[in-house]
């Protein structure tokens, strides 16, 4: 793996930018282009990847999230003519002028511009979204890519995108280690609701809507646990779990009676995958890839997007019906075993790689 930020001592993971010369060139370009709003347009080190021994030895190159100030997509035509390139899309960035999630904006279908979400990640200092959309169009026209999305939702958007519909698109759901994320006996006192996200302060994760829903449940006796950093103000006492490693998160999911995901936009939530594997019923908004995982009435409950009242009513229903929670939890684990193992994800990707290598 060649990465933008190395967070492990694993020898199979290296920084993409090797050597002070590449870093200096990237800084020089960034200092000129970033203030102009020309986000990620040129990092010379991205072209240098072609000379990396790992790239030269590879049969297939897989990209993951490449927006993050360390890779320039201007290099895609150059790289994709040397190796088969599979791009695993984790959000909408590849098909918009700049945002990772377009929310209610449909401008990506026609060229962006007049962006209503300049401050959304990755933020722009000025509205260059139309120019960046056209830059992506030019880059993709000269690239050879195979796209993989974990959700049917994102695959559908990619197939409708003027930028991406030229490419082959496959759906491969995220997998999870079912030996780590597995059911465990739950405490038998009062029920626990778990809310977790990598960035709890992200508006997209819906903490404000959850707070509104919880305000309607003041008559119910339950614990509220929050994992993923400093908890937001949810209007009632919470048990703050902080940031947990995989075994810790697995224990939190397994101990919870309900996992609630009030996100306003999602691709295929790893948190949902992990909760399902732990046989925990899930409650989420009917957005993005959530319906791929939360099969209404089978593995959890779906409610209309952003509807705090419906979220509260469904949470009340789950907390008041232990038999329903048990049935949904059993269905959740069965779904994980059937469709969401890390081994199945690996086999699906390996089969795709084999096709590309065979030509």
Other C-beta atoms within 10 Å of 54: how many? 12
Q: What is the mean pLDDT of residues 51-80?
A: 95
In a domain, 292, yes or no: yes
| Cβ-based neighbour number of residue 115 at 10 Å | 24
Whether 239 and 101 share a structural domain:
no
Is residue 181 assigned to a domain?
A: no
Given this model, what pLDDT does residue 23 score?
87
Residue 229 has pLDDT above 90, yes or no: no
Q: How far is CA 336 from CA 34, 213, 259, 276, 303, in A?
A: 43, 28, 15, 6, 21
Is 244 among the domain residues? yes
* pLDDT band for position 3 (cuts 50, 70, 90): very high
17 with 130, same domain: the answer is yes
Question: How high is the pLDDT of residue 51?
Answer: 93
Domain with 213, as residue range(s), is 192-340
pLDDT band at 301; cut points 50, 70, 90: very high
Asked if 32 and 124 sit in the same domain, the reply is yes
Please work out, in degrees rounded to the nearest 5, the angle formed at the alpha carbon of residue 292 by the alpha carbons of 90 and 173. 45
Helix %, strand %, coil % for the chain, to 5? 40, 15, 45
Q: Are residues 211 and 105 in the same domain?
A: no
Burial class for 119, CB neighbours closer than 10 Å (0-12, 13-18, 19+): exposed
Mean pLDDT of 169-194: 95
Residue with tokens 């990707």: 349
Angle formed at CA 111 by CA 144 and CA 70, multiple of 5 degrees:
55
- Do 353 and 296 lie in one domain? The reply is no
The answer to whether residue 187 is domain-embedded is no
The structure tokens listed for 60 are 């297939």
Please provide the average confidence, as pLDDT, over all residues in the chain: 96
Residue 320: CB atoms within 10 A of its CB come to 11
124 and 143 both lie in a single domain: yes
Alpha helices in 256-307 (DSSP H): 270-277, 290-293
- 178 found inside a domain: no
For residue 305 the two structure tokens come to 């997007």
**pLDDT tens readout for residues 303-339:** 999 999 999 999 999 999 999 999 999 999 999 999 9
pLDDT tens profile 87-143 = 999 999 999 999 999 999 999 999 999 999 999 999 999 999 999 999 999 999 999
Asked if residue 102 and residue 9 are part of one domain, the reply reads: yes
Please check whether residues 203 and 128 belong to one and the same domain.
no
SS3 85: strand
- Give the dihedral of Cα atoms 89, 171, 351, 164; nearest 10 deg: -50
Of residues 68 and 178, the one with the higher pLDDT is: 178
Query: Is the omega angle on the peptide bond into residue 214 within 30 degrees of 0, that is, cis?
Result: no
**pLDDT recorded at residue 359:** 84
Instruction: Decide if pLDDT at 187 tops 80.
Output: yes
Give the containing element (helix H, strand E) for 157: helix 152-160
Instruction: Report d(CA 359, CA 354) in Å as an integer.
Output: 9
DSSP-assigned letter for residue 28: H
Confidence of residue 291 (pLDDT cuts 50, 70, 90): very high
CB 55 within 8 A of CB 49: yes
**Shared domain check, 203 and 164:** no
Q: Assess whether 111 and 157 both reside in one domain.
A: yes
Residue 74, pLDDT above cutoff 90: yes
Tell me the pLDDT band of 68, cut-offs 50, 70 and 90.
confident
**pLDDT tens sequence across 121-137:** 999 999 999 999 999 99
How high is the pLDDT of residue 216? 97
DSSP-assigned beta bridge partners for residue 147 = 87, 169
Count CA atoms within 13 Å of residue 130 on its CB side. Answer: 6
Statement to judge: residues 27 and 144 lie in one domain: yes
In a domain, 305, yes or no: yes
Position 102 in a domain: yes
Q: Which residues contact 302 (CB under 8 A, 6 or more apart)?
A: 284, 285, 286, 290, 291, 294, 296
Residue 2 C-alpha from the chain's centroid: 20
Residue 262 confidence class, pLDDT cut points 50, 70, 90: very high
Looking at residue 16, its pLDDT comes to: 87
Q: Tell me: do 204 and 311 sit in the same domain.
A: yes
Mean pLDDT of 221-243: 94
Confidence of residue 22 (pLDDT cuts 50, 70, 90): confident
Mean pLDDT of 27-36: 93
In a domain, 18, yes or no: yes
CATH number for the domain that contains residue 324: 3.40.50.2000
> For position 215, what pLDDT does the model report?
97
Q: How many structural domains is the chain composed of?
A: 2
H or E, element range at 300 = strand 300-303
């Amino acid at each position: 793996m060649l990465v933008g930020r190395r967070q492990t001592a694993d020898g199979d993971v290296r920084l993409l930018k090797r050597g002070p010369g590449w870093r200096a060139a990237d800084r020089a370009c960034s200092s000129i282009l970033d203030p102009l709003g020309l986000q990620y347009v040129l990092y010379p080190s991205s072209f240098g990847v072609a000379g990396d021994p790992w790239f030269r030895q590879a049969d297939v190159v897989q990209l993951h999230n490449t927006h993050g100030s360390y890779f320039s997509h201007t290099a895609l035509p150059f790289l994709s003519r040397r190796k088969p390139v599979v791009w695993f899309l984790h959000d909408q960035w590849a098909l918009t002028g700049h945002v990772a999630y377009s929310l209610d904006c449909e401008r990506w279908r026609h060229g962006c511009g007049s962006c209503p979400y300049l401050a959304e990640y990755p933020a722009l200092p000025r509205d260059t979204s139309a120019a960046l959309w056209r830059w992506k169009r030019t880059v993709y026209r000269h690239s050879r890519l195979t796209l993989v999305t974990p959700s049917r939702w994102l695959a559908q958007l990619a197939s409708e995108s003027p930028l991406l519909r030229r490419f082959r698109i496959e759906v491969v759901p995220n997998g999870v280690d079912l030996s780590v994320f597995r059911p465990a006996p739950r405490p038998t006192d009062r029920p626990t609701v778990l809310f977790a996200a990598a960035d709890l302060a992200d508006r997209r994760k819906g903490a404000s809507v959850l707070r509104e829903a919880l305000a309607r449940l003041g008559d119910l006796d339950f614990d509220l646990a929050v994992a993923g950093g400093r908890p937001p103000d949810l209007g009632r006492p919470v048990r703050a779990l902080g940031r947990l490693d995989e075994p810790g998160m697995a224990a939190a999911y397994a101990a919870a009676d309900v996992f609630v995901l009030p996100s306003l936009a999602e691709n295929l939530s790893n948190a949902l995958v992990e909760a399902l594997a732990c046989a925990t019923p899930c409650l989420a908004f009917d957005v993005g890839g959530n319906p791929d995982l939360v099969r209404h009435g089978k593995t959890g409950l779906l409610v209309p997007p952003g509807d705090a009242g419906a979220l509260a009513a469904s949470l009340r229903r789950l907390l008041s019906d232990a038999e329903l929670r048990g049935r949904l939890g059993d269905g959740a684990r069965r779904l994980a075993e059937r469709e969401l193992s890390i081994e199945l994800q690996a086999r699906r990707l390996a089969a795709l790689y084999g096709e590309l290598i065979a030509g």
